[in-house]
Amino acid sequence: MNALILSALSGVIMMFSGFFLKTKSAVRTLAHILLIAIIAVAVLELRGIQLVAVDTKGMMVFDHFALLFTIIATLSTLIFFVLSSKDMERVGMNYSDYFALIFFVLCGITMTASFKSMLILFLGIEILSIPLYILTGSDKRNLKSNEAALKYFLMGSFSTGLMLMGITLIYGATGTFYTTMMQLPQGQVPVLFITGLLMLLFALSFKVSAAPFHFWTPDVYDGAPTVFTSFMATVVKAAGFIGFMRLFDEAFGGIRAEWKLIVAIITVITLFIGNITAVFQQSVKRMLAYSSIAQAGFMMLAVYTLSSEAKDGLLLYAAAYSFATIGIFAVLIKMQDYTFDGFNGFAKAQPVVAASLVIFLLSLAGIPLTAGFLAKFYMLKGVVESGSLWLAIFAVLMAAISVYYYFRLIQAMYFKTGNAPVLELTSSFKYTLVGLAAATIILGLFPNVLLYWLYF
């Protein structure tokens, strides 16, 4: 709860920081300090130390799972700030406001990770989504950015309507908003409840860009300022899955037979469309957009199985996927050409950065010794243990296809000649990138560095 309160206060402070801080570097420093403070209070709460105790009436529970994900999301945001916050200056005039919006997104993420009432889930998703609509359209001079924001807002509003309708129907069937207090008649599930469940499933599938509700993703990710696409495609997507899994585990876990086949179909379509479409992209940014859909397919496996391995895997996946994608986007922002050809000869000009990119790409592809491999392994282990061997085999085949488009970027950097135009890269940027790559390897070798905190 302390992290949630501090995130909200930080958002308000950043809104007014533009008035009393004269330089952009001061605004940036303040944002970093506030984010570190949020991580510190979340860690203290994880160790059982609360600065402020608030009675949420059981509508939110800050257990180890919720707090650990909050720390992962906040840490990923801090890395995003360190690598890319300076590039936010180029988006527009309202520099401090961008930080304020991101802090409000963190509020929504914390609520989505800790809800016990569907009303809090709804509020969390909306608090998370509305700042993203604004950030998508923050480059007001760019028609593409405005179009992406409008498309995102309209599609987001539609899914919000579906979610509200689903919550209403479930409340009508059970008489409660609490996910752990729903009681159904013995031996039968009311049609009202099933209809509400399906509406929630479709609405959340939209939020995490699972197929066939993914159509907005490439256009929005491509149209939004690249610096914000990085944040949207990583931390926010992972938060959506944490909420997705929590809802289905606590509210619908007892009637898995009613929805498991539909989730399996959505998973298969998401993996297929994301991977096959990514193969044909010529822009690295659009490839990463479709790749994010494919990664969503893997994260859907956690919703499908709802096992303890899936829970471990989803947390590891959130960290591995966020670290790798934030790192790749941080470099992409510095490039003047977003196509694969724009990376030709990049390794010769920037050997350290290129080596870091290779580690991130290997992690996304699920190659051993990286965090991405173990995250995928946990997911597949859960699927196999649930008895759905066919789904695990299909996911492995799709992961094999993904190797092609990730290695295509490695090929451009190392095996093609060219003069990749790149903006100036500072030493601190390179050190941070190398540190992030090292963290990706460490999590791949010693996952308990992270997962220990879930059970200690």
Mean pLDDT, the chain, whole residue set = 87
| pLDDT digits 0-9 by tens, 273-287 | 999 998 888 888 888
d(CA 100, CA 126): 16
pLDDT of residue 422: 67
**Interacting residues of 225 by C-beta distance below 8 A, sequence separation 6+:** 91, 135, 138, 139, 142, 145
Domain range summary for the chain, segments of one domain joined by +: 1-454
For position 35, what pLDDT does the model report? Answer: 92
Q: What is the pLDDT of residue 264?
A: 92
- Residue 455's pLDDT is 67
What pLDDT sits at residue 167?
Answer: 93
> Based on the number of CB atoms within 10 Å of its own CB, is 138 exposed (0-12), middle (13-18) or buried (19 or more)?
buried
The beta strands (E) that lie in 176-240 are given as: none
Q: How many CB atoms lie within 10 A of CB 88?
A: 25
CA–CA separation, 109 and 166 (whole Å):
21
β strands within 6-53, DSSP E: none
pLDDT of residue 270: 92
By percentage, how much of the chain surpasses pLDDT 70? 98
Q: Please report the pLDDT score of residue 452 as a whole number.
A: 75
Residue 271: what pLDDT? Answer: 92
pLDDT score at 416: 83
Go through 247-274 and write b for each residue having 16 or more CB atoms within 10 A of its CB, e for each that does not.
bbbbbbeeebeebbeebbebbbbbbbbb
pTM higher than the cut 0.95: no
pLDDT below 50 — which residues of the chain? none
Q: Distance between CA atoms of 440 and 447, rounded to whole angstroms?
A: 10
